[in-house]
Amino acid sequence: MFRIHNVLAAALTGVLIALPFAAAGQEQVLNLYTARHYSTDEALYSNFTKQTGIKVNRIEGGEDVLLERIKAEGANSPADVFITVDVGRIWRASEAGIFAPAKSAVLEQRIPAAYRDPLGEWFGFSARARVIAYDKTTVKPADIARYEDLADPKWKGQLCTRSSSHPYNLSLIASMVSHLGEAKAKRWVDGVKANLARDPKGGDTDQLRAVAAGECTIAIGNHYYYVRLMRSSKPADRAVVERVGIVWPNQGDRGVHMNISGGGMLKHAPHKAAAVKFLEYLSSDEAQAYFADGNNEWPTVPGVKLNNPALASLGTFKTDALNVAELGRNQAIAQKLADQAGWK
């Protein structure tokens, strides 16, 4: 179900009905469709309005539902910008032809090439590292230093992960396809499946808790789930952090696999100038700091000062320079390999 904010919209009897957000040509409004569901993003919208005078109307919902809505609305869509999480989802939106290039020297200068579409249709505004978690009491980080190590038979029955069909894991598999080629990536996926301690279930936080509980000794997850536990005041969460450590994989070669949250201006945006201003704002130091402080994500813009001690305490690490668009291109292959291996 949608969460509706400052907008007149309805979905009746399965038919999407979009009522006007604002008349086209009025540049003091931005109509945003977003799959981000973090309450801390409220500051992003309010500060953008304070700086520009542009009011942000938004609809929040699941990325697939929002994408279908945009496609169904077509040229009559009131939406100016679509924001979602995971580059695979952004790639699908781009392939659906909903974006238009946002010509902006600011975005080209501030967002590194690895985190934006080569054609300028979408941009990554926050980054997520897919890390390896391990049981500090039984595992040495050096023994699980690379993603490739996850397929080593010595970890048989010791690995926990969420479903392979989740976009975070599909993007990781897609990165292995890019770096290893399909044949070697297939062997890796087969090895990962063979090492599972149990059938995949739950989210990334559940994998961390499973390691702490002794259900497995290693797991895969995004870094910010671990940082959330670090920042928690709950004894149970603190106990997980005491027991579980994380590894930045592949520091001796290509670097850790990164994913993004981002989006772009829509092809039929009625307020294109406001859309570009909003995207540029998301690349500002202020907005980038909100991503880091509010949801423990890494800024994609280099050099942004972190006001999040827990995130900063993780230190620096080498990141994969692969353009994340490659992860989108390899999504179908990634799913095929997971299906062939029986990794549910």
The CATH number given to whatever domain includes residue 323 is 3.40.190.10
Q: Tokens 């095929």 sit at which residue?
A: 336
Q: Which residue has the higher pLDDT, 114 or 19?
A: 114
Q: Are residues 10 and 152 in the same domain?
A: no
Q: Are residues 323 and 242 in the same domain?
A: yes
| Amino acid identity for residue 314 in this structure | L
Q: What is the DSSP letter of 17?
A: E
The boundaries of the domain holding residue 35 are 3-127+259-308
Q: Are residues 118 and 21 in the same domain?
A: yes
Residue 37, token pair as written in the block = 């569901």
Task: Answer whether residue 203 is part of any domain.
Answer: yes
Average pLDDT over residues 3-19: 34
pLDDT for the residue numbered 14: 31
Residue 328 has pLDDT above 90, yes or no: yes
Average pLDDT over residues 161-187: 97
Task: Answer whether residue 313 is part of any domain.
Answer: no
Number of domains forming the structure of the chain: 2
Which distant-in-sequence residues (6+ apart) come within 8 Å of 292 by Cβ? 126, 298, 299, 304, 306, 307, 308, 311
- As a whole-number percent, the residues of the chain with pLDDT over 70 amount to 92
Average pLDDT over residues 24-31: 72
Residue 280 has pLDDT above 50, yes or no: yes
Residue in 212, 202, 213 with CA at minimum distance from that of residue 161: 202
Q: Are residues 97 and 133 in the same domain?
A: no
Average pLDDT over residues 106-123: 96
Distances (CA, A) of 239 to 234, 246, 302: 9, 15, 33
Q: Which is it for strands 29-34 and 218-222: parallel, antiparallel or unpaired?
A: unpaired
Residue 21 has pLDDT above 70, yes or no: no
Name the pLDDT band for 27 (thresholds 50, 70, 90): low
Q: Are residues 170 and 121 in the same domain?
A: no
Q: Are residues 191 and 335 in the same domain?
A: yes
Residue 203 has pLDDT above 60, yes or no: yes
Q: Are residues 178 and 327 in the same domain?
A: yes
Average pLDDT over residues 15-24: 39
pTM of the complete model: 0.88
Question: What phi and psi, each to the nearest 5 degrees, are found at residue 123?
Answer: -140, 145
Q: Are residues 238 and 335 in the same domain?
A: yes
Residue 220 has pLDDT above 60, yes or no: yes
Q: Are residues 334 and 206 in the same domain?
A: yes
